[in-house]
Each structure stands twice: as structure tokens, then as C-alpha cells.
Amino acid sequence: MPAPPLVVEGLTKQFGPLRAVDDLSFSVRPGAVTGFLGPNGAGKTTTLRMILGLTSPTAGHSLVGDRPYVEHDRPGRVVGAALEASSFHPGRTGLAHLEVYAPQVGVSRARCREVLEQVGMEHAAKVRVGKYSLGMRQRLGLATALLADPPVIVLDEPTNGLDPEGIVWMRGLLRRFAEEGRTVLVSSHLLREVQASVDDVVVIAQGRLRHASPLAELRSRAQPATYVESPRLDAVAALAAERGWRTATDATGLQVEGATAAEVGGAAYGAGIELHQLVTRDADIEAIFFELTRPEEER
């Protein structure tokens, strides 16, 4: 059976005078990883809590497939979620934590060991959670989410506390979930950290939707940039200025903004300028993200 999509419609949460989530609508498709992005305090966790029936919305609703999360017969088998890495009983071992949770989602004790292995934590099965690092707690949270092998996976800032190797591992895992056809929603306040693993992006700020699209569409808005090395850097800079491309020099070369490698190479060839390096630089997607999430008053 295909995994159900997640749909959020007009979701709103008012905490006293603060509208933490404001008329938010978006959907998350199966077979892809969706990055749920926004700066600290944007309302991501509150939204995820509403999707999971942990916080009741002031207005609007969210659906997992054809009904709200809480109206599924066994919601924990449909959606696996890891919200806060710190909410484990510190005196319990990792394995004991999973064994307490297992009956709620109807899985065996053997499955607990299996998921611990899947998240690379078999060595810490008998260690008390109080002794776990933040990264280990993240992995245990993920193991909990995966217990019932759910078709929908929701993770709140899953790379927090992971070392670089852990981040690469997490990326691979998210990719695999998507390839298996699951619906995967992952929050982060850093686009940089998730851009290698997400297919779609939903960007919020101040509780409001600012952008939703495939990542590629957001990328295509970024200005191209090209790095050049040449024995005649001054001539390249002059050529760039003629064409209206901005440049920045560093110790070894020149960064040309707003031009592709083909454009810079073509122009240099035309002017008879020898080039030793001509490299496309990653589009500055982070700059677009900052622009999208700037406070309303500053826009």
C-alpha cells in the first residue's frame, strides 16, 4: 500500500498574545524527503506537534492520508516521530526505553534490538540514557520512530548533535526511506544541513508559509557563480566588469557572480585570455533562504 501524504490546512496556534503558527497550509508527498525549514522560533515544532495530535490547533487541521493522526486505529504504526531528543527517562537503558514503548505500537522485543542496530546503537543497548550524548539520544529517538516500520516518518531537527559522520549517515537513511516510498518530513533551521538530503522544501518564518517547492526550483533562483584562475586575473576582472558581473578576488583566483562557467569561459576565449581554472560554484542557496525567512518588518 502506498504511504499516505501529510496535509496541513490553515493550521494556526495562538499562545496567549503570540501567534506561533499562522494559517499554515502545505502538503508532504510520499516517496520524497521534505525539509521543513525556518529559523529558531519559526513555529516548526509547534506545527509538528499539531500534526501528531500533541498540541491542539486554534484553527485549521492536518491529515495523515484521509484523516487526522489521532483518528487512525494505531497512529503510532502509521507515523513514526522523533520530536525532542531530551525527553527520555535518564535511568532507563536505551533498550529498556524501546521495550516500554514496543507494546504501544504492537511490536516484539526482538524488533527493539533490530532498530537499535539499524541506528548504529547496539553497543549502547544496556547503557542508561542519562549517560548518552546528544547524538546518541538523537539515534535513540530515531530508533523509537522506526519501531513499527511506519510509512510516514517525522523528525524534528534530526541532525542536532550528530557528528559529521553521523550527518552523512542520516542523509543516507533519509534517502533510503524516500526510495522505499515513505513520506518523510524533516525539520531544520539550517538549509545547508539538509539540502543534500531533501527533495522538497517548505519554508516558514514567524509562523507563516514563505515558500514551498521542489528544492531544485529554489536552487534555480540562486545566482550562478564561477571561480576562475588565470595568469591575467586583472583582464578577467575587467572583462567581468564590462559585462556587469560582480567579482571578488581571493588569494589564488577570482569569483565571478551572476555568470555561468560557459559564459565566463566564452568571454575569456573571445578576449584571448588564458584560463587555468574554470569551476562552477554551488549556487548560494543559503542567501535565498535568509531572504525568504527575514522578519516581515525588514522585508
Ligand X SMILES: Nc1ncnc2c1ncn2[C@@H]1O[C@H](COP(=O)(O)OP(=O)(O)OP(=O)(O)O)[C@@H](O)[C@H]1O
Q: Does 141 bind ligand X (CB under 6 A)?
A: no
How far is it, in rounded angstroms, from Cα 124 to Cα 169? 18
* Given 6, 8, 20, 52, the residue binding ligand X (CB under 6 A): 20
Q: Does 41 bind ligand X (CB under 6 A)?
A: yes
The amino acid sitting at 116 is L
* Shortest Å, Cβ 14 to ligand X: 9
Q: Does 75 bind ligand X (CB under 6 A)?
A: no
* Shortest Å, Cβ 15 to ligand X: 3
How far is it, in rounded angstroms, from Cα 271 to Cα 217? 34
How far is it, in rounded angstroms, from Cα 52 to Cα 144? 15
Contact 11, 47 (CB under 8 A): yes
Q: Does 158 bind ligand X (CB under 6 A)?
A: no
Q: How many CB atoms lie within 10 A of CB 120?
A: 16
* Shortest Å, Cβ 83 to ligand X: 10
Q: Does 203 bind ligand X (CB under 6 A)?
A: no
* Given 3, 42, 64, 154, the residue binding ligand X (CB under 6 A): 42
* Shortest Å, Cβ 16 to ligand X: 7
How far is it, in rounded angstroms, from Cα 134 to Cα 203? 26
In degrees, rounded to 5, the angle at the alpha carbon of residue 51 between the alpha carbons of residues 48 and 57 is 100
- Give the neighbor-by-neighbor strand order of the sheet with 6-15: 18-28, 6-15, 59-64
Closer residue to ligand X (CB): 5 or 43: 43
Q: Does 210 bind ligand X (CB under 6 A)?
A: no
Q: Does 15 bind ligand X (CB under 6 A)?
A: yes
Q: Does 44 bind ligand X (CB under 6 A)?
A: yes
Q: Does 43 bind ligand X (CB under 6 A)?
A: yes
Closer residue to ligand X (CB): 18 or 241: 18
* Given 6, 26, 32, 45, the residue binding ligand X (CB under 6 A): 45
Per-residue binder mask for ligand X (CB under 6 A), 163-202, x = binder: --------------------------x-------------
The residue among 188, 149, 155 whose CA lies nearest residue 286 is: 188
Candidates 33-41, 82-90, 144-152, 223-231: pick the segment binding ligand X (CB under 6 A): 33-41
- Tally of CA atoms within 13 A in the half-sphere of 275 that contains its CB: 21
Number of chain positions touching ligand X (CB under 6 A): 12
Closer residue to ligand X (CB): 24 or 140: 24
The residue among 265, 241, 245, 269 whose CA lies nearest residue 256 is: 245
Candidates 39-47, 89-97, 172-180, 286-294: pick the segment binding ligand X (CB under 6 A): 39-47
Sign of CA dihedral 171, 172, 174, 178: positive
DSSP letter string, 58-70 = SEEEEEETTB-GG
Residues 6+ positions from 113 with CB-CB distance below 8 Å: 95, 122, 125
Q: Does 60 bind ligand X (CB under 6 A)?
A: no
In degrees, rounded to 5, the angle at the alpha carbon of residue 259 between the alpha carbons of residues 258 and 265 is 160
Which residues in this chain contact ligand X in the complex, by CB under 6 A?
15, 18, 20, 38, 40-46, 189
